[in-house]
Amino acid sequence: MKKIGKILFITLAVLLVVVLVGPFLVPVPPLEGTVPPQQLADPSTSSGQGPDSQFIEINGLSVHVKRMGQGEPIFVLLHGFGASLYSWHTVMEPLSRHGTVIAYDRPAFGLTERPMNWTGQNPYSPEAQVDLLLGLMDHFGVQQTILVGNSAGGTISMQFALAHPERVRALILVDPAVYAGGGSPAWMRPLLGTPQMRHLGPLFIRKIQEWGPEMIKTAWHDPSKITPDVLEGYKKPLLADNWDRALWEMILAAHDMSLTDHLNELTFQILVITGDDDRIVPTEQSVRLAGELPNATLVIIQDAGHVPHEEQPAEFIQAVEEFLPRSSMFTPALPGTCARGKCAAGRLAPAPAQGQANGVQVSVVDCLGRASMSKVAINTPAPDFNLLDFTGKIVRLSDFRGKTNVLLVFNRGFM
């Protein structure tokens, strides 16, 4: 029995050594042929054929950004997992006819800097990505935006809207990964974060170079539409320094943000767009999401997969253009606008001609999102709060006190 016990002990010891030390014996050669991200930027487009690349420092990161258009509204575009701002290349110009368009590469993707060491907040975490978006808006002086997010970019958009509702005018969610997102299972994260897996992780990630093209085909309804230029646009970021390790760090940092527990708080006007053949985030999940959001409009684009803005850009732009008038109906109040349970959540508009020719009709919603209908006499004592007119100018309720023929209508975000 002692001999058997000794054999078992030695066997377990050997296995333990193999598990603990073995991974470090696997060589992880450095990437070959990679360069700093700035060297991969598109050449200058002074001829006006497209937006130039910009590299802007936000929260200590060099962020790759492209802009087009001018004026309001301001669209900020967030790409999905494994993509980059290139994903929006066919729709940036059409969107810019309606206002300003800002697209950027999220950390671990595209040509944005990929830090390997940091202090404080993990730059690849969902929380840091929300903070980065806020910093980007502050850098460009954007007070309110229409966030357009595809897949994981849609979930970041929703997280931002929950954290900073006063900075969001509306949401356009394109095949958002809400029910199937959140990174690896909680039980697996401690294993993935061990030194052994941190050593091996980049090797697994490098397999993207082999199966990436097949993944792109899965994202499209009709893979025959994928041109060599599209493949090249997706492959270019794989030439950036540290792309493998950064992507592994992002996977480690991902975790469930419990978005489904807060859908009722997203009382913005929201457009949910999905392809009818999405095999990555199944179409029925987008249908479900539109049904569970308070003020959502659903558009299903025919003959499209997970990236309808790439596969069917004309239909995508049409859906956005039809949504834009509704995006002005409801805007959450700015900070400090809540008073005694009421928030200004709408925009000023001319009142109906019958009976209120000189009046103002305003859409508002209470701070809890409860529907209510009431008329308020402006010349009587009432809580003061902010309203936004159609130009984005802040107007105080008190500005209307003492005036006649003014009607305030409280409802759930519709004029």
Is 20 a domain residue?
no
Report if residue 8 sits inside a domain.
no
Contact 228, 123 (CB under 8 A): no
Category of 223 on φ-ψ map: left (φ > 0), alpha (ψ -120 to 50) or beta: alpha
- Both 282 and 359 in one domain: the answer is no
Q: What CATH number has the domain bearing residue 41?
A: 3.40.50.1820
Helix, strand, coil tally for the chain in percent (to 5): 40, 20, 45
Q: Are residue 316 and residue 358 in the same domain, yes or no?
A: no
DSSP 66: E
Both 384 and 310 in one domain: the answer is no
Average pLDDT, the chain: 77
**Residue 16 confidence (pLDDT) above 60:** no
Q: Quote the number of domains for the chain.
A: 2
Neighbours of 197 (CB within 10 A): 16
Q: Which of 288, 304, 327 is the last residue of a domain?
A: 327
Which is nearest to 157 in space by CA: 272, 252, 53, 247?
272
Of 297, 327, 357, the one marking the end of a domain is: 327
* Same-domain pairing of 284 and 375: no
User: Is the pLDDT score of 309 beyond 70?
Assistant: yes
Is this prediction's pTM over 0.75? no
Contacts of 127 (CB under 8 A, 6+ apart): 121
Statement to judge: residues 258 and 406 lie in one domain: no
Residues 92, 212 within the same domain: yes
pLDDT tens per residue, range 204-251: 788 877 888 898 999 999 999 999 999 999 999 999 999 998 998 888
Do 356 and 385 lie in a common domain? yes
Domain match, 371 and 323 both:
no
Q: Are residues 238 and 343 in the same domain?
A: no
Rounded Cα distance, 237 and 231, in Å:
11
Query: Residue 62: which domain range?
Result: 37-185+204-327
Asked if residue 350 and residue 264 are part of one domain, the reply reads: no
φ, ψ of residue 146 to 5 degrees: the values are -100, 110
Among the candidates 303, 327, 351, a domain finishes at: 327
Regarding whether 239 and 216 lie in a shared domain, the answer is: yes
371 within a domain of the structure (yes/no):
yes
Q: Is residue 32 part of a domain?
A: no
Q: What does the pLDDT read at residue 360?
A: 33
Q: Which of 22-31, 41-50, 357-366 has the highest mean pLDDT?
A: 22-31
Q: Cα 32 to chain center, whole Å?
A: 32
395: in domain = yes
Examine the domain organization and report whether 246 and 120 are in the same domain: yes
pLDDT at 117 over 50: yes
Q: Which residue has the tokens 């294993």?
A: 191
253 φ, ψ (degrees, to nearest 5): -80, -20
For residue 41, what are the CA distances in angstroms to 60, 80, 243, 366, 377?
Answer: 20, 20, 15, 46, 58
Question: Residue 57's beta-bridge partner residues?
Answer: 62
